[in-house]
Homo-oligomer: A and B are copies of this chain.
Amino acid sequence: MLDLGSDVRGLTARLVDIESVSGGERALADAIERALGAVGHLTVERDGDAVVARTDLGRPQRVVIAGHIDTVPIVANVPSHESGGRLYGCGTSDMKSGVAVQLKLAAALAEPVHDVTYVFYDCEEVDAERNGLRRLARNRPDLLEGDFAVLMEPTGGVIEGGCQGTMRVEVTTYGERAHSARSWMGHNAIHEAGRVLDVLRAYAPRRPEVEGLRFHEGLNAVFVSGGVAGNVIPDECVVTVNYRFAPDLTEEAAEAHLREVFTGFDVRVTDSAPPARPGLDHPAAAAFVQAVGAGQARAKLGWTDVARMSELGVPAVNYGPGEPTLAHTRDEYVLLDAVVEAEQRMTGWLTGAAGAPFRPEPDDSA
């Protein structure tokens, strides 16, 4: 049984020690469901291995506080151990420390200033189609309704707003096969792909400011493949390009941009995920930034589930005590002081404590 009255540091360790690699979250979901079921001011529901607990106080606003309970595969780094103010183990930063904060808030705050929906979901670390938040959005969209959402992913204690979209396209060049001893009888598709690389090498990525946050785009080849045999002039070459685009563009606009950039080439979209605007102009978000972030926030450049919340019409940010650079590493740890601080800041927000006025954090990218 999880003891939600225990210190958030000890609770984090307890959560890490219940293994929950993606697809194997049942034991942890059971423990969370049972512990929250014993809290009188919450209504608890379950969908697969996702657990949703809500207050229902009739507040004018509802906020969603969400986190995934699965981890990447364990590499001899469970159970957890503490050393020098750090808790080591798989999932300490990504993101059982965040989940521990969620659980502490859920149990402790019987009368928060906003109604709160606490979401604990499965399968975030694997293919998008298995994602538990995606399943919830399809099965029970009512459970995800709210005016603002916080995903407690590892951000090193900094609020990260919005997220960039990502699109992958295959840019294919064509030629004509010939024996390489008579190469002038054919046309070399790999040489032709040099023109695609010319475009990429000359490309100047945008760094637009969106709602006060500085984004940073990127256009890069992530794969290249071509060739038939060691003595044949190749007739096809495929450059797979990944475009990371700021949230002032829609997916449609991003695709149109790529088709313009690669005018004259065969361009096929193979994968796409939308960006999310920061949404920090929403009153609930602005209040959150003041109370929790001491007025500071920065742009999220990677793609996260905030985009999924954004698609549901719920402005969302990332904020959590974990260290993003340690996620998915063998030596993953979390600073225990940071977990305590996150609990305190979130508590301050949900109990109405004041914060500093919002100002974007200085841009830290080179």
Contacts and interface: CB of A to CB of B under 8 A. Distances in A.
Specify which of A222, A227, A303 lies most central, judged by the most chain B CB atoms within 10 Å of its CB: A222
B223 A184 contact: no
A294 interface: no
A183 B220 contact: yes
A193 B197 contact: yes
A225 B224 contact: yes
Interface in A285-334: 301-303
A365 B190 CA distance: 23
A206 interface: no
Copies of this polypeptide in the complex: 2
Contact of A194 (B182, B194, B223, B237): B194
Contacts of A162: none
A232 B240 CA distance: 12
Overall SS of chain A's interface: mixed
A222 B218 contact: no
A271 interface: yes
B194 A201 contact: yes
Interface residues of A, number: 48
B222 A224 contact: no
Interface string A93-123: 0000000000000000000000000000000
A227 B244 contact: no
Contact of A244 (B180, B200, B205): B180
A231 B240 contact: no
B181 A191 contact: no
A1 interface: no
Nearest to A231: B242
Contact of A221 (B164, B191, B271, B366): B191
A168 interface: yes
A264 interface: no
A198 B301 CA distance: 32
A197 B200 contact: no
A76 interface: no
B190 A197 contact: yes
A228 to B, nearest CB: 8
Interface in A230-248: 230-234, 237, 239-240, 242, 244
B302 A244 contact: no
A179 interface: yes
A216 interface: yes
Interface string A168-182: 100000000001111
A237 B222 contact: no
Contacts of A225: 224-225, 227
Nearest to A301: B181
A132 to B, nearest CB: 21
Specify which of A188, A190, A229 lies most central, judged by the most chain B CB atoms within 10 Å of its CB: A190
Given A183-B218, A183-B244, A184-B365, 4 more contacts: A166-B180, A166-B181, A181-B302, A184-B216
30 contacts: A166-B180, A180-B218, A180-B220, A182-B218, A182-B365, A184-B216, A184-B365, A184-B366, A185-B366, A188-B220, A188-B221, A190-B220, A190-B222, A190-B239, A191-B220, A191-B221, A193-B197, A194-B194, A194-B197, A194-B198, A197-B197, A221-B234, A222-B228, A222-B229, A223-B226, A224-B224, A224-B225, A224-B227, A227-B240, A231-B242
